[in-house]
Amino acid sequence: MAVTTCLTWMQEKILQNHFGGKFNLLYKASVHKFSLEHLLQKYEFGIDLTGRKLHISANTSKELGLLQCESISFEECEVFQCEDILNKRKMEEVTELRESLWSSMRTYKPYGDLVHQIRILLLGPIGAGKSSFVNSVKSVFQGRVVHQALVGSDTTGISQKYRTYSIKDEKDGNSLPFILCDSLGLGEGEEGLCMDDVPQILKGHVSDRYQFNPMKPITPGHDNYVDSPLLKDRIHCAAFVFNVNCIEYLSDEMVAKIRRVRRKLIECGLVHLVLLTHVDSMDLITKDDLIDIYRCPPVKSQLEAVHKALGFPLSDILLVSNYTSEWELDPLKDKLILFALRHMLWAADDFLEDLPLEETREMLLAV
- Residue 210 confidence (pLDDT): 96
Percent of the chain's residues with pLDDT above 90: 57
- Those residues with Cβ within 8 angstroms of residue 77's Cβ, 6 or more apart along the chain or in another chain: 27, 28, 29, 34, 39, 47, 49, 52
Q: Which of 83-92, 190-199, 241-250, 283-292 has the lowest mean pLDDT?
A: 83-92
> Do 185 and 126 contact (CB within 8 A), yes or no?
yes
- Would you say residue 39 has pLDDT above 50? no
Q: Which of 46-60, 124-138, 198-212, 340-354 has the lowest mean pLDDT?
A: 46-60
Q: Please report, for residues 175, 211, 347, the alpha-carbon distance to residue 124 in angstroms, rounded to integers and kept in the order given.
A: 26, 18, 18
Residues 219, 224, 226: CA angle, nearest 5 degrees: 75
Number of residues that this document lists for the chain: 367
- Residue 154 confidence (pLDDT): 47
- Would you say residue 132 has pLDDT above 90? yes
Q: What totals of helices (H) and strands (E) does the chain contain, helices first?
A: 10, 13
Task: Give the residue-averaged pLDDT of 43-52.
Answer: 64
Rg (CA), the chain: 26
* pTM of the complete model: 0.80
